[in-house]
């Protein structure tokens, strides 16, 4: 039974990370029907933003009070990246066939990875390490170090941070979407962009907000990942982005609760599969296989996703 | 109708028109959907726009509200030329409803109307996240105003219903409330009584009078002639994208060309040649 709870904890931790990233996919999809495959890179750049903030201002210190400032640094890096990406790459393609922005997204993804890989240590006035190999992520008191033991279940401090971050973000997001003017504007645009425009809503601004919102959560996820793995690298956005996209589809793309739920389900399924699938198909090496098997099953039997409503395509 | 001519006339203000469209032309490839249409609406006036199916009425509305950029022609509102952008149009004070109801189906009635307040409230991204006292006050005011408008159109008790679950007639009213939420000076209604029964139609025209009496101008597209002639101060009849007749309901009602346009003359019905009298008369009438 302890094994079960241990895997549940691991799964929820992993799932929280997926969920934080998945929201970015789903929010952008809900507004512009674009799968932003470069979102994984927004997450990666968030982690680098946090690291840069640390190296620039607090190198060598370990106080937990640095963490909020690192998160702010991460958010700034991610939001700037996402907003610039929307402005430069997606907005000119707003009325293009849908394949064009999709391919552009993949191009941006590669571009951003290479940008970080090649130029991170060449940023002037800063003494950053080369990003060509893994860079150690700063370890802070309180959120890293000795794990917490509850019975026989081991909970990493970074895991607590990750889950707490998801809870806080989810609450703030719910509030933002349902209780603020901009959130209402987003809902309106996602349901009918033309009518929203005729009601005086600045659709371009709403799209920017959607990208920024996804970037904020991705930035938090980037910091979480750094704390959990103790290191970051320029490739970290690829597999995390792919899994988060899976989570978003699993929950029903376009549906924010669905993205959070899908992320958690995916994380738990992966962890459980590691533990309970017997023989040669079990263990860590096969966990990605089981994650995508789950995706295929959901797409076959419930194509709209776990929480998605069957939507009629817009007229 | 309940409102008599004596009540109606003082509202008909003179002077500069509120909305003035001149020479509006909309061409889609080879199709001339709207051709050189002039229209002026004065303050407190109810103007009817009639015409057979495909006459270009809705296209003309789309040109007025910035959904389409007219090929030629200009729209002036309050004397100022209007940029063909929906947001600019709404901010200037023109709002509309749609022929096919276009509510935000998965939002409540109240939320739908609150979306209409969007351009009249200032709070932006940062203030709404940090939500200071100013933001909270504005949000409360938005909510109160939305509720007030629902009461105005008679939906006060349905504010928490999802738009898609509301009865058809209520959805039409809700669309009107949402349009009113943008604080318009002029409201454009695209077939507000389509699919309604006689009782609902009567309620709709009462509502339109109520809107006019609150100081707005109204332009309404409709097929129901009795509704139009009982409601409007002036009527404009469009046929094949061109103005056929413009005048008071009585003038338009008795105009033989209007009747021909709707019913056909028999001989010229299938031919677009245009040497027959109605088309010829139209040409003269415009020059």
Which residues on B lie below 8 Å from A197 (Cβ)? 67, 86-87
Taking only residues 252 to 271 of chain B, the set having a beta carbon closer than 8 angstroms to any beta carbon of chain A reads none
Output the average pLDDT for chain A. 90
| Rounded Cα distance, B179 and B118, in Å | 11
- Cβ of residue B128 closer than 8 Å to a chain A Cβ: yes
For the segment B37-61, what is each residue's pLDDT rounded down to a tens digit? 999 999 999 999 998 888 889 999 9
- CB of B121 within 8 Å of a chain A CB? The answer is yes
At residue A53, the pLDDT reads 95
Chain A residues touching residue B116 (CB < 8 angstroms) = 199-200
Question: Do A22 and A200 touch, CB atoms closer than 8 A?
Answer: no
What separation in angstroms does the CA of B68 have from each of A178, B9, B84, B85? 31, 34, 7, 8
List CB contacts of A184: < 8 A, sequence separation 6 or more.
A178, B107, B111, B114, B115, B118
Using an 8 Å Cβ cutoff, are A126 and A56 in contact?
yes
Q: Quick one: tokens of B85?
A: 């952008």
- For chain A, say whether B130 makes contact (Cβ under 8 Å): no
First to last CA, chain B: 36
Sheet holding B31-41, edge to edge: B31-41, B19-28, B72-77, B80-81
Quick one: CA dihedral A133, A138, A143, A149, positive or negative? Answer: positive
Among A72, A175, A184, most B C-beta atoms within 10 A, so best to mutate, is A184
Average pLDDT value over all residues in chain B: 82
Distance CA A209, CA A26 (A): 13
Q: What is the model's pLDDT at position B125?
A: 54
d(CA B10, CA B228): 20
Split at pLDDT 50, 70, 90, the class of B138 is confident
For residue B269, pLDDT over 80 is answered with: no
Residue of A nearest to B121 (CA): A181
| Chain B contact set for A179 (CB, 8 A) | 139
Tell me how crowded residue B269 is: count the other CB atoms within 10 A of its CB: 10
CB B203 within 8 A of CB B111: no
Closest-approach residue (CA) in chain B for A185: B115
pLDDT of residue B131: 62
Task: Say which residue the tokens 């005011």 belong to.
Answer: B141
pLDDT of residue A243: 93
> Looking at the predicted structure, is the pLDDT value of residue B4 above 70?
no
The larger pLDDT score, comparing residue A50 to residue B283, is at A50
- Give yes or no for residue B281 having a pLDDT over 60: no
Residues B171 and B158: beta-carbon distance below 8 Å: no
Q: Which residue of B has its CA nearest to A199?
A: B116
* Cβ under 8 Å to B: A residues 191-230: 191-192, 194-202, 209, 212
Average pLDDT over residues B180-199: 91
Q: Where are the domains of chain B?
A: 5-93+184-286, 103-183
- The H or E element that residue B246 is part of is strand B242-247
Q: Are the Cβ atoms of A181 and B118 closer than 8 angstroms? A: yes
Do B244 and B47 form a contact (C-beta atoms < 8 A)? no
Do A141 and A158 touch, CB atoms closer than 8 A?
Answer: no
DSSP code at position B162: B
Question: From CA B212, how far away is CA B185, in angstroms rounded?
Answer: 10
Residue numbers of chain A with a pLDDT score lower than 50? 311-315
| Residue A29 in tokens | 């999809």
Picking from A80, A102, A88, the residue whose alpha carbon sits closest to that of residue A25 is: A102
Segment B95-119 mean pLDDT:
90
Q: Å from B24 to nearest chain A CA?
A: 20
Q: List the alpha helices (DSSP H) in chain A.
A: 2-32, 39-57, 66-85, 99-119, 157-179, 181-191, 193-198, 203-229, 236-251, 256-276, 287-301
pLDDT band at B128 (very low <50, low <70, confident <90, very high): low
A185 interfaces chain B, CB cutoff of 8 Å: yes
List all residues 6 or more positions away from A235 whose beta carbon is below 8 Å from its beta carbon. A44, A113
- Pinpoint the alpha helices (H) of chain B: 5-11, 57-64, 86-92, 109-116, 125-130, 133-153, 168-180, 198-213, 225-231, 249-253, 256-263, 277-286
Judge residue A31's burial from the number of C-beta atoms within 10 Å of its C-beta, 0-12 exposed, 13-18 middle, 19 or more buried.
Answer: buried
Whole-angstrom Cα distance, residue A112 to residue A92? 19
**How many Å apart are CA A133 and CA B73, to the nearest integer?**
63
Query: Does B101 reach chain A within 8 Å, measured CB to CB?
Result: no
HSE, CB side, 13 Å, CA atoms: give it for residue A122: 7
Assembly ipTM? 0.75
* Nearest residue in chain A measured CA to CA from B179: A199
Q: Assess A176–B contact: CB distance below 8 Å, yes or no.
A: yes
pLDDT for residue B124: 58
The verdict on domain A2-301 having CATH code 2.60.40 is: no
Q: Confirm or reject contact between B144 and chain A (CB < 8 A).
A: no
Give strand pairing partners of B80: B77
Q: Assess B125–A contact: CB distance below 8 Å, yes or no.
A: yes
Contacts of A252 (CB under 8 A, 6+ apart): A258, A262, A304, A305, A306, A307, A308, A309
Angle between helices A181-191 and A2-32 (to 10 degrees): 70
- pLDDT top residue among A263 and B123: A263
Measured CA to CA in angstroms, residue A208 lies from A99, A162, A215, A230 at distances of 21, 26, 11, 32
Distance of alpha carbon B19 from alpha carbon B186, whole angstroms: 8
Q: Touching check for B139 and chain A: CB below 8 Å?
A: yes
Residue of A nearest to B120 (CA): A200
Return the CATH fold of B5-93+184-286.
Rossmann fold (3.40.50)
Q: Which residues of B touch A201 (CB under 8 A)?
A: 87, 115, 118-119
């Amino acid at each position: 039974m302890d094994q079960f709870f241990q895997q549940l904890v691991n799964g929820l931790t992993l799932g929280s990370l997926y969920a934080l990233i998945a929201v970015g996919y789903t929010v952008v999809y809900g507004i512009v029907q674009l799968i932003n495959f470069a979102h994984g890179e927004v997450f990666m750049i968030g982690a680098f933003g946090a690291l840069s903030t640390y190296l620039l201002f607090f190198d060598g210190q370990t106080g937990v009070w640095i963490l909020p400032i690192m998160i702010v640094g991460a958010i700034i890096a991610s939001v700037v990246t996402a907003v610039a990406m929307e402005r430069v790459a997606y907005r000119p393609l707003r009325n293009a066939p849908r394949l064009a922005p999709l391919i552009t997204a993949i191009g941006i993804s590669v571009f951003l990875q290479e940008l970080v890989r090649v130029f991170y240590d060449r940023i002037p006035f800063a003494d950053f390490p080369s990003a060509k190999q893994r860079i150690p992520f700063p370890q802070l008191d309180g959120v890293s170090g000795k794990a917490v033991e509850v019975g026989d279940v081991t909970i990493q401090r970074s895991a607590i941070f990750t889950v707490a971050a998801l809870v806080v973000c989810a609450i703030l997001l719910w509030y933002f979407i349902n209780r603020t003017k901009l959130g209402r504007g987003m809902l309106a645009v996602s349901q009918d962009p033309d009518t929203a425009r005729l009601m005086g809503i600045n659709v371009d601004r709403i799209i920017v907000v959607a990208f920024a919102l996804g970037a904020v959560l991705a930035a938090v996820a980037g910091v979480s990942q750094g704390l959990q793995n103790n290191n970051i690298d320029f490739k970290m956005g690829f597999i995390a982005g792919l899994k988060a996209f899976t989570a978003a589809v699993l929950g029903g793309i376009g549906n924010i609760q669905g993205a959070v739920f899908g992320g958690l389900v995916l994380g738990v399924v992966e962890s459980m599969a590691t533990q309970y699938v017997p023989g040669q198909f079990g263990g860590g090496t096969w966990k990605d296989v089981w994650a995508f098997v789950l995706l295929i099953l959901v797409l076959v039997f419930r194509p709209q996703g776990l929480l998605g409503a069957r939507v009629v395509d817009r007229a | 109708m309940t409102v008599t001519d004596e009540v109606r006339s003082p509202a008909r203000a003179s002077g500069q028109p509120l909305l003035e469209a001149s020479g509006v032309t909309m061409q889609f490839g080879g199709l001339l959907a709207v051709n050189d249409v002039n229209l002026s609406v004065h303050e407190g006036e109810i103007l009817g726009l009639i015409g057979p199916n495909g006459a270009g009425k809705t296209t003309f509305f789309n040109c007025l509200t910035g959904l389409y950029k007219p090929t030629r022609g200009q729209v002036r509102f309050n004397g100022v030329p209007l940029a063909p952008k929906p947001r600019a149009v709404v901010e200037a004070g023109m709002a509309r409803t749609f022929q096919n109801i276009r509510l935000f189906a998965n939002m409540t009635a109240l939320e739908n109307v609150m979306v209409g307040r969007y351009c009249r409230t200032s709070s932006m991204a940062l203030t709404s996240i940090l939500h200071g006292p100013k933001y909270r006050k504005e949000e409360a005011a938005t909510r109160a105003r939305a509720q007030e408008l629902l009461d105005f159109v008679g939906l006060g008790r349905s504010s928490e219903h999802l738009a898609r679950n509301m009865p058809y007639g209520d959805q039409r009213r809700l669309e009107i409330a949402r349009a009113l939420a943008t604080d318009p000076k002029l409201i454009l209604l695209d077939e507000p009584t389509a699919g309604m029964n006689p009782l609902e139609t009567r309620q709709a025209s009462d509502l339109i009078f109520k809107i006019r009496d609150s100081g707005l101008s109204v332009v309404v597209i409709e097929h129901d002639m009795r509704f139009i002639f009982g409601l409007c101060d002036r009527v404009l009849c469009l046929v094949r994208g061109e103005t056929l007749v413009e005048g008071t309901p009585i003038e338009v009602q008795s105009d033989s060309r209007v009747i021909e346009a709707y019913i056909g003359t028999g001989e010229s019905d299938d031919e677009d040649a245009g040497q027959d009298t109605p088309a010829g008369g139209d040409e003269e009438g415009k020059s």
